[in-house]
Amino acid sequence: MAYESTRGWVEQLDRAGELLRIREPARTNLEIAAAADQESKSAGGGKALLFEKPVGPDGQEYGFPVLINGYGSAKRMAMALGRETVEEIGEEVGALVKAKPPAGLAQAWDLLKRGLELRHARPVSTRSGSCQEVVHRVNEGGKGLGEIPVLKTWPKDGGPFLTLPQVITEDPETKERNVGMYRMQVLGSWEAALHWQLHKVGARHGKKYREMGQPMPVAVALGGDPANAFAATAPLPDGIDEYMFAGFVRKKSVAFVPAVSQPIRVPADADFVIEGTVDPQGEPVDEGPFGDHTGFYTPVDKYPRFRITAITHRKDAIYPATVVGKPPMEDFWLGSASVRILMPVLKMNFPELVDLALPAEGVFHNLAFVSLKKQYPYQAFKLMHGLWGAGQMMFTKVIVAVDEHVNVHDTSEVLFYLGANVDPERDTIFIKSPCDSLDHAPSVPNVGSHMGIDATRKLLGEGYARGWPEECRTTPEAAARARELMARAKGGR
């Protein structure tokens, strides 16, 4: 199922009892973010919140409502992608890559790309789009970003930040499109800082434009079908168009129109589109501080200045936002959906891989739990090295490997085996690796070490000659009889 706009998505959330409308005025300065933080930590991720009367720092009322925590539960994440469950999409991806088992990760991605094309997920062109119902150009004056209820989410943030943007760029040579979710700090009515981190595709495109000395056209879409923003977060390899992926997920191609002021195409269904350029000779600007996914403030750093040339929007646009910080938060559900959907691609390359979880406490890159079917000595280490070599998994600081029967989605169960099965000196490995730019722990930004902990049962070939002990488990008959006895006792019969 596809949604024609954020409004269509909000109506669906409302019908499903998943939306809370806040009709009283609420400030974009901290208040809306604090409400979403509290809600996302309530049972099951709480509800999506629609703030109908956002109010700016000077008391000004905005003309657009704010949707936040829209993706913030397993149910809403699946609804956002127009499905009953996210696993359903993973199964479809599995069917695509199983057609011809690939010899490596690159081949697996290639198979997925060709599969997506065959599924008629290719973006299409259209002549007009609702995203351009209203057009504001920089030379006409106007409030620019000041019209949009952009949130300041934490007290020491350097200003208001757009937190769910789909940042669209093109490779200047191949013209391949990339869409990444990179936050944007508002610097002025027609100016922002673009936070594409060092390792991301937007940064690679930016470097090419700089080297070629050409101004870089950039478009930032907000809203539209919620599958679009999800696709912008998915760790797809360079070369797979995220909007093609969104088309596959929602079973309907994404339609595009030419931007009004830049030579770039934009999704016709977006609620807002912000168009502009990055100057190849321009000095980078201070970006931050920003209360980040990590639960800490990321300090000020240098990022490209985005000069806005036009802002277009729907007449009835809704501004989508999120707040990131100490987990669990809305971003956990976006990250988990990527893992569930892309797992078949990883499994194709690592046949021993049974399951993988990025627990909320690890905020994406700090912690991964993997279960595997171990056949030979050091296979857990082999799997860890493979995962560290797989795209954005390279950022994973600590990987804990457990046997196939362990439920990696149950952190308590994983911790039990971590404690029970590990001889720390024998079972840990350390590697040097690029690190996530947000990670404040390494002594030098962007580089550091990663650790792998093998919490599987050990084999003779791994130097364990004592005979691994058997786990205590009662018989199925005794367990069944116990359940009956207890049920009767508790029921008073």
Ligand X SMILES: Cc1cc2nc3c(=O)[nH]c(=O)nc-3n(C[C@H](O)[C@H](O)[C@H](O)COP(=O)(O)O)c2cc1C
Q: What is each CA distance from 479 to 387, 465, 486, 489, in whole angstroms?
A: 38, 33, 11, 15
Q: Does 270 bind ligand X (CB under 6 A)?
A: no
The answer to whether residue 196 forms part of the interface with ligand X (CB under 6 A) is yes
Say which of 157, 225, 269, 292 is annotated catalytic. Answer: 292
Which one of 27, 76, 195, 305 is in contact with ligand X (CB under 6 A)?
195
Binding window for ligand X (CB under 6 A); candidates: 40-48, 199-207, 402-410, 462-470:
199-207
289 preceded by a cis bond (ω within 30 of 0):
yes
Question: Which residues within the stretch 341-400 sit at the binding site for ligand X (CB under 6 A)?
Answer: 392
- Cβ proximity to ligand X: between 154 and 182 the closer is 182
Q: Which of 203/317 has CB closer to ligand X?
A: 203
Which residue number, 242 or 352, has a Cβ lying nearer to ligand X? 242
Q: How far is the CB of 427 from ligand X (least distance, A)?
A: 30
What is the CB-side half-sphere exposure of residue 62 using CA atoms within 13 A? 28
Among 66, 186, 192, 201, the residue binding ligand X under the rule CB under 6 A is: 201
Q: Using the rule CB under 6 A, is 445 a contact of ligand X?
A: no
What is the three-class DSSP state of 369?
strand
Are residues 257 and 249 in contact, defined by beta-carbon separation less than 8 angstroms? no
157 binds ligand X (CB under 6 A): no
Of 12-20, 36-44, 57-65, 233-241, the segment contacting ligand X by CB under 6 A is 233-241
According to CB under 6 A, which residues from 314 to 333 bind ligand X? 322, 324, 331
Whether residue 25 has a cis bond before it, omega within 30° of 0: no
Cβ at position 437, least distance to ligand X in Å: 7
Binding range to ligand X, per CB under 6 A, among 190-198, 218-226, 302-310, 469-477: 190-198
Q: Which residues contact 370 (CB under 8 A, 6 or more apart)?
A: 353, 354, 355, 356, 383, 384, 387, 399, 400, 401, 402, 408
* Amino acid symbol at 4: E
Query: Is residue 178 near ligand X by the rule CB under 6 A?
Result: yes
Beta bridge partners of 29: 152
Residue closer to ligand X by CB (options 232, 257) is 232
Amino acid symbol at 139: N
Is the Cβ–Cβ distance between 193 and 181 less than 8 Å? no
**Binding of residue 235 to ligand X (CB under 6 A):** yes
* Residue number, 28 or 233, with CB nearest to ligand X: 233
Query: Is residue 30 left, alpha or beta, with left meaning phi > 0 and alpha meaning psi from -120 to 50?
Result: left
Q: Does 197 bind ligand X (CB under 6 A)?
A: yes
51 binds ligand X (CB under 6 A): no
Contact 150, 188 (CB under 8 A): no
Q: Check residue 200 for interaction with ligand X (CB under 6 A).
A: yes
Q: How far is CA 364 from CA 79, 81, 337, 338, 413, in A?
A: 22, 20, 12, 11, 19
Q: Which of 334, 337, 339, 418 binds ligand X (CB under 6 A)?
A: 334
What's the start-to-end Cα distance of the chain, in Å? 49
Spatial distance between the Cα atoms of 10 and 79, rounded to a whole number of angstroms: 11
Q: Quick check: is 37 catalytic?
A: no
How many residues sit in the footprint of ligand X (CB under 6 A)?
Answer: 20
Stretch that binds ligand X, among 20-28, 142-150, 193-201, 248-256 (CB under 6 A): 193-201
Helices (H), 213-288: 226-233, 242-250
Interface residues with ligand X (CB under 6 A)?
163, 178, 180-183, 195-197, 200-202, 233-235, 322, 324, 331, 334, 392
Q: Which residues are catalytic?
A: 292
